[in-house]
Amino acid sequence: MTEPVRTERNGAILEITLDRPKANAIDMATSQRLSTAFETFRDDPELRVAILTGAGERFFCAGWDLNAAAEGEEFESDYGAGGFGGFGELPGLTKPVVAAVNGMAVGGGFEMIMAADMVVAADHAEFFLPETGIGIIPDVGAIRLPRLLPRQLATEILIAGRRVTAAEALDWGLVNRVVPAGELMAAARELGQKVVEAAPLAVAAIIDLMKRTSHLSVEDGFSLMRSGDVATYEGMLASDDAKEGPRSFVEKRPPRWTGR
């Protein structure tokens, strides 16, 4: 039997593959396994970025497993510490997740894309939310998508189930890059390597500040950042890495980050 969640370390990159034929749909047990994988990523100081993808070329993830739902699994189940899909609600996650979208991202699969920090999509990928057609709502999408798109577009996708092509997703800023399917993982790894080359405490501070200020005005965001209460930001300012960066620039050499 195929392991539904596979992980592979590639240096400082953790690659997580969802593999549940035929559509990479997620039931409660699979979501819990994804949460465990992302908790490992969060807690391992040697890992700097995660790449999440799906097996095959047709589906990235078809969302909630409706077969499990028909058998009695409830919509509000225990999906693990990170919520549905393993990372969107994971406490303390201040490392970036790159989604490598190898095919259709449907329902909860699309919502996982909304939660990712960066997205690379194959040129045949599609994104849509069919929940209203089965009597429920895309609850995460209803919160996240209007923050990512103009209200009218978000409403059509959320309520009318409009399908979004990879090209449209790129034009609308939902994905960073669109590439031929055969180049997908190479492009995701290239993006991940850019994260690996960046100062880890600076990356953590940025991720943390983006999450903590997304609902605030610019003025309130600055106030929070400068309040002394954001540990990732204060730790970055006081770190050896904050001194190493200018020093390496003056000495004309690559920086040697220690994460301290």
Backbone φ, ψ for residue 51 (5° rounding): -115, 120
Of the candidates 13, 94, 92, 98, the residue with the CA atom closest to the CA atom of residue 48: 13
Helices (H), the chain: 28-43, 66-70, 108-115, 139-148, 151-160, 166-171, 184-197, 200-213, 218-225, 231-237, 240-250
Radius of gyration of the chain (CA): 19
Using alpha carbons, select from 104, 259, 241, 120 the residue that is nearest to residue 184.
Answer: 120
- The CA distance from 96 to 118, in Å, is 8
**Catalytic residue from among 76, 111, 168, 244:** 111
Q: Could you tell me what percentage of the chain is helix, strand and coil, using 3-state DSSP and rounding each to the nearest 5?
A: 45, 15, 40
The Cα 257–Cα 11 span in angstroms is 15
Catalytic-residue membership of 168: no
Q: Is residue 46 annotated as part of the catalytic site, yes or no?
A: no
Catalytic residue of the set 15, 39, 126, 131? 131
Contacts with 72 (C-beta within 8 Å, 6 or more apart), sequence order = none
* Contact by Cβ (8 Å): 125, 166: yes
DSSP-assigned letters across all residues of 34-61: HHHHHHHHHH-TT--EEEEEESSSSEEE
DSSP type of residue 217: -
Catalytic residue IDs: 111, 131
